[in-house]
């Protein structure tokens, strides 16, 4: 807004001593003007309060890029504008890039992949897959992680026997399945299924009892987050994907879940503790504020306090980490594709475009390069937007 | 909006009984309330046996330094303290209903509707991302079965009654757009929204500019009169309660050390602690650069309180006896009680003070030297 220029002008002009006298005579006028503008800004503050300084070029570029990518993805998926067939093979341009000096890639602006398929429709369709998987995964993480984090943060340090028993039992069941299952199966020699059931049973009982004794939901939820974070994310996502996808035979016969959904679940589960920790930390600090106690002193229920009082304060942090999370998820999808799980060809995704042609990196680098560039720019834009969201969507005093 | 006692509020246990046998017509009877916290360091006796009664329309001022248990006492009566490690004993009777055994779920009927609270810092006691109108409506719609439009109208009237200019416009604003004094008025409006019978004001003006302190206190007094509401005014400043409270309880180390009708306390104080608190207020008539009177030392550790009188280590009157035996609460005139072996203004007290001055020592000195 216009409040800034007068001050900067003053500071800047004083550096040249020759003009100082002139400047002094102007100074009064400038200060007066700036004061006037300030008054104007305050008076106008009632209505368009949020119109602070502009977003800046970087933010607009990032927004523009994201709109562009989403638009292309939607157009390609709906078939309104596909820029050609993603499946059609053109033998003459296989592995030919746009800058190939021999042979002909004319008519294909970005060249073709190793099967001679036009890169443009493949990248456009791949944008859809990549964005769908990444966004879906983060929505899963956002909703579940955010909810658990809010619970942990709000009830942190309070006595929450019921919740602690349930979470404790769940955690105990998982550990019981692993540890108890092995114990019963290997040492005692029971059947696998029976050992598993016994393990879950004992684990749940032990966990529930611990929850009853300790009675703090936060301790258990944080514990779950920590355990999930301590398993390398890619290993967790890889095993979840492999487990959920089932065998290739199953997929060929049309059984099992669609690979996109599997990826959403797998990457979503991995992102739960990330969002959860952020929302817990944020909720924990907000829950200490007097307004939460004040709401309680007015008779508000816990659920109401969490949703109406805490959530709006926690959301900006969650949004910001989620935008970063989408960026991470796009990369994760690519990594999983390179490792051989994930979206199955011929459906393109940015990740599996890279995966498919990573062997041709030296012969025809444009294939990997183009997909990587798209991922790079999108991740960059999302990272940037994450920061912008955090600083903009702050209606609190710090935002002024 | 003088009478917002709404039909939705459950008054059953009291109103139906027509003021049962236990009420004595009193609004609030607090008997020997103890509030202790179990911590890693040991049992913290934050409130250790406090009793008082309060009638509708009256104001009780609770005065004491930081860490004397004033805030814990008020939150303990409200039932707002976290359950973990909490030991709460005694009896809190509001209009014939014993509150100390009620679960938070049952207390919710009372919070906001029967008793309410104003907090110290209006900067943190309003939700920064919620419009002011919504914050007031929240509590109205929590307790009263009214439509949204009616709640908004009620909120507008409330804001007007706490003298906020242009209440309709303010309803749509966020807390950070208001000044501290205005925010505290909003807090008052929120607390009064459902017409409570009992209002706890926990240092309501401490965080405010001196120039608006009197305004806010006057506003609270007006509201109290109009609503015929009882008020517990908690402060560290005797000047705040002077002229506003009907009765004053001075707290030290979790106990009431002197309790008296307000005029009596200022004219005939018995407890050296009260005297020390009063003389620590700078006076306008003093010459410039007059050294401020302070109370030496700090309030005692509530995990291991001293054996005798809790104030003895810091007291100008203290004798050997004070360090050994704890004085009981004695009544001089009806309603005026104090805990002291050598009360201010009595021959024993004067003699004790003289002796300490003559010897240039206090009991505290021997205590610290011994330790």
CATH superfamily label, B3-236: P-loop containing nucleotide triphosphate hydrolases (3.40.50.300)
Q: What confidence score (pLDDT) does residue B22 get?
A: 45
Q: How many CA atoms lie within 13 A of B59 on its CB side?
A: 23
What is the residue-level pLDDT of chain B in tens, covering all 371 positions?
Answer: 344 444 433 333 333 334 344 445 689 999 999 999 988 888 999 998 899 999 988 999 999 888 888 999 999 999 888 887 889 999 999 988 898 888 888 888 888 888 999 988 888 889 888 889 888 888 888 888 888 888 888 899 989 888 888 889 989 998 888 888 888 989 999 898 888 999 999 988 888 888 888 888 999 999 899 889 999 999 988 888 888 899 999 999 999 999 999 988 888 889 999 988 888 888 888 888 888 888 888 888 888 888 888 888 888 888 888 888 889 888 888 889 999 998 888 888 888 888 888 877 665 554 444 43
- A295 CB within 8 Å of a chain B CB: yes
Residue A16 CA: distances (Å) to CA of A19, A24, A169? 6, 12, 73
pLDDT digits (tens, 9 = 90+) for B105-144: 888 888 888 899 998 888 888 988 888 988 888 888 888 8
Mean pLDDT across chain B: 84
Nearest to A297 among B83, B116, B120 (CB): B116
Cβ–Cβ below 8 Å for A298 and B126: no
Q: What confidence score (pLDDT) does residue A166 get?
A: 81
Quote the Cα angle for A282-A285-A288, to 5°.
145
- CA end-to-end span of chain A: 12
Return the residue of A nearest to B179 by Cα.
Answer: A397
Question: What predicted TM-score, i.e. pTM, was given to this entire model?
Answer: 0.75
Residue owning tokens 């004061």: A35
Alpha helix ranges (H) inside B228-340 = 238-241, 262-267, 272-279, 320-324
Nearest to A290 among B84, B119, B191 (CB): B119
Cβ–Cβ below 8 Å for A397 and B128: yes
Quote the Cα angle for A394-B138-B105, to 5°.
115
- Please list every residue in chain A whose beta carbon sits closer than 8 Å to the beta carbon of residue B112: 297-299
Torsion, Cα B338 B344 B346 B350, to 10 degrees, reads: 150
- A170 CB within 8 Å of a chain B CB: no
Both tokens of A260, joined, read: 């996109």
Strand, helix or coil at A267?
A: helix
Please, which residues have CB within 8 angstroms of residue A170's CB and are 6 or more apart in sequence?
A204, A207
Q: What are the residues facing B353 on neighbouring strands?
A: none
The overall longest dimension of chain A from CA atoms, in Å, is: 96
Task: Among A48, A287, A291, pick the best mutation site for testing chain B contact (most B Cβ within 10 A).
Answer: A291
Cβ–Cβ below 8 Å for A395 and B173: no
Specify the DSSP class assigned to residue B25: T
Q: What confidence score (pLDDT) does residue B237 get?
A: 86
Nearest to B78 among A297, A308, A396 (CB): A297
Cβ–Cβ below 8 Å for B120 and A290: yes
- Please list every residue in chain B whose beta carbon sits closer than 8 Å to the beta carbon of residue A396: 128-129, 176
Q: How far is A183 from chain B (nearest CA, A)?
A: 37
Nearest to B260 by CA among B281, B282, B283, B278: B278
Cβ–Cβ below 8 Å for A159 and B130: no
Q: How many CA atoms lie within 13 A of B244 on its CB side?
A: 27
- A298 CB within 8 Å of a chain B CB: yes
Q: How far is A155 from chain B (nearest CA, A)?
A: 11
Nearest to B337 by CA among B249, B253, B267, B277: B249
Mean pLDDT for each consecutive 10-residue tract of chain A (400 residues)?
Answer: 38 38 38 38 41 72 91 85 72 66 60 78 88 92 91 80 79 77 72 77 81 77 85 84 70 68 89 90 88 88 88 87 86 85 80 83 82 90 84 55
Return the residue of B nearest to A42 by Cα.
Answer: B177
d(CA A35, CA A55): 24
Q: What confidence score (pLDDT) does residue B206 get?
A: 84
Spatial contact of B69 and B47, defined as CB atoms under 8 Å apart: yes
Nearest to B84 among A46, A158, A294 (CB): A158
Return the residue of A nearest to B81 by Cα.
Answer: A293
d(CA B81, CA B77): 9
Cβ–Cβ below 8 Å for B116 and A290: no
Residue B247 phi, psi dihedral angles, 5° rounding = -135, 145
Nearest to A290 among B124, B143, B173 (CB): B124
Task: Count CB-CB contacts under 10 A for residue B122.
Answer: 28
Q: Where are the domains positioned within chain B? A: 3-236, 271-283+291-370
Please, which residues have CB within 8 angstroms of residue A361's CB and are 6 or more apart in sequence?
A368
Return the residue of B nearest to A216 by Cα.
Answer: B84
Nearest to A299 among B83, B113, B176 (CB): B113
Nearest to A375 by CA among A160, A163, A130: A130
């Amino acid at each position: 807004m216009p409040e800034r220029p007068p001050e900067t002008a003053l500071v800047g002009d004083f550096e040249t001593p020759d003009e100082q006298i002139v400047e002094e005579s102007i100074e009064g006028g400038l200060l007066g003007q700036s004061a006037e503008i300030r008054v104007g800004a305050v008076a106008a503050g009632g209505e368009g309060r949020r119109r602070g300084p502009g977003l800046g070029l970087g933010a607009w570029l990032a927004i523009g890029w994201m709109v562009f990518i989403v638009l292309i993805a939607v157009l390609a998926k709906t078939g309104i504008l596909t820029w050609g067939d993603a499946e059609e093979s053109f033998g003459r341009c296989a592995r030919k890039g746009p800058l190939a000096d021999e042979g002909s890639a004319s008519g294909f602006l970005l060249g073709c992949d190793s099967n001679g398929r036009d890169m443009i429709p493949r990248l456009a369709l791949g944008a859809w897959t990549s964005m769908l998987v990444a966004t879906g995964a983060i929505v899963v993480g956002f909703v579940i992680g955010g909810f658990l984090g809010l619970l942990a943060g709000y009830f942190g340090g309070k006595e929450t026997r019921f919740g602690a028993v349930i979470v404790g039992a769940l955690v105990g069941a998982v550990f019981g399945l692993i540890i108890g299952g092995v114990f019963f199966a290997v040492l005692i020699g029971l059947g696998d299924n029976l050992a598993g059931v016994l393990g879950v049973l004992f684990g749940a009982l032990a966990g529930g009892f611990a929850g009853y004794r300790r009675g703090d939901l936060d301790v258990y939820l944080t514990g779950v987050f920590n355990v999930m974070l301590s398993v390398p994310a890619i290993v967790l996502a890889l095993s979840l994907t492999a487990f959920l996808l089932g065998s290739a035979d199953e997929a060929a016969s049309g059984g099992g879940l669609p690979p996109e959904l599997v990826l959403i679940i797998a990457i979503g589960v991995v992102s739960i503790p990330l969002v959860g920790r952020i929302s817990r930390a944020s909720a924990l600090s907000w829950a200490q504020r007097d307004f939460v106690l004040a709401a309680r002193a007015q008779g508000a229920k816990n659920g109401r306090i969490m949703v109406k009082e805490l959530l709006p304060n926690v959301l900006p942090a969650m949004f910001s980490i989620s935008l970063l999370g989408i960026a991470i998820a796009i990369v994760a999808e690519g990594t999983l594709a390179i490792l051989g799980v994930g979206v199955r060809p011929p459906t393109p995704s940015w990740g599996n475009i890279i995966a498919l042609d990573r062997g041709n990196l030296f012969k025809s680098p444009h294939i990997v390069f183009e997909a990587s560039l798209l991922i790079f720019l999108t991740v960059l834009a999302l990272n940037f937007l994450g920061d912008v969201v955090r600083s903009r969507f702050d209606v609190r005093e710090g935002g002024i | 909006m003088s009478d917002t006692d709404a039909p939705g509020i459950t008054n059953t246990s009291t109103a139906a009984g027509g003021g049962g046998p236990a009420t004595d017509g009193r609004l609030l009877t607090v008997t020997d309330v103890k509030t202790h916290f179990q911590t890693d360091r040991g049992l913290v006796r934050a409130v250790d046996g406090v009793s008082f009664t309060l009638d509708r329309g009256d104001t009780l001022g609770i005065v004491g330094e930081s860490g004397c248990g004033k805030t814990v006492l008020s939150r303990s009566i409200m039932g707002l303290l976290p359950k973990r490690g909490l030991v709460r004993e005694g009896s809190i009777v509001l209009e014939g209903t014993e509150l100390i055994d009620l679960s938070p779920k049952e207390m919710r009927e009372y919070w906001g509707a029967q008793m309410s609270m104003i907090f110290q810092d209006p900067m943190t006691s309003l939700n920064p991302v919620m419009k002011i109108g919504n914050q007031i409506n929240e509590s109205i719609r929590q307790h009263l079965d009214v439509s949204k439009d009616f709640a908004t109208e009620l909120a507008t009237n409330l804001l007007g009654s706490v003298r906020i200019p242009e209440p309709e416009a303010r309803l749509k604003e966020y807390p950070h757009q208001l000044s501290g004094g205005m925010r505290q008025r909003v807090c008052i409006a929120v607390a009064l929204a459902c017409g409570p019978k009992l209002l706890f004001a926990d240092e309501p003006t401490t965080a405010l500019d001196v120039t608006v302190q009197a305004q806010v206190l006057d506003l609270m007094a007006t509201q109290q009169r109009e609503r015929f509401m009882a008020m517990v005014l908690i402060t560290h400043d005797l000047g705040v309660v002077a002229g506003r409270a009907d009765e004053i309880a001075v707290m030290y180390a979790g106990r009431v050390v002197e309790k008296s009708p307000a005029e009596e306390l200022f004219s005939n104080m018995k407890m050296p602690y009260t005297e020390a608190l009063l003389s620590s207020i700078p006076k306008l008539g003093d010459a410039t650069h007059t050294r401020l009177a302070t109370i030496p030392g700090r309030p005692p550790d509530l995990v291991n309180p001293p054996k005798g009188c809790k104030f003895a280590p810091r007291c100008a009157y203290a004798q050997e006896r004070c360090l050994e035996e704890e004085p009981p609460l004695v009544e001089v005139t009806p309603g005026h009680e104090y805990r002291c072996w050598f009360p201010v203004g009595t021959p024993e007290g004067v003699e004790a003070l003289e002796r300490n001055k003559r010897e240039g020592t206090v009991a505290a000195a021997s205590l610290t030297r011994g330790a």
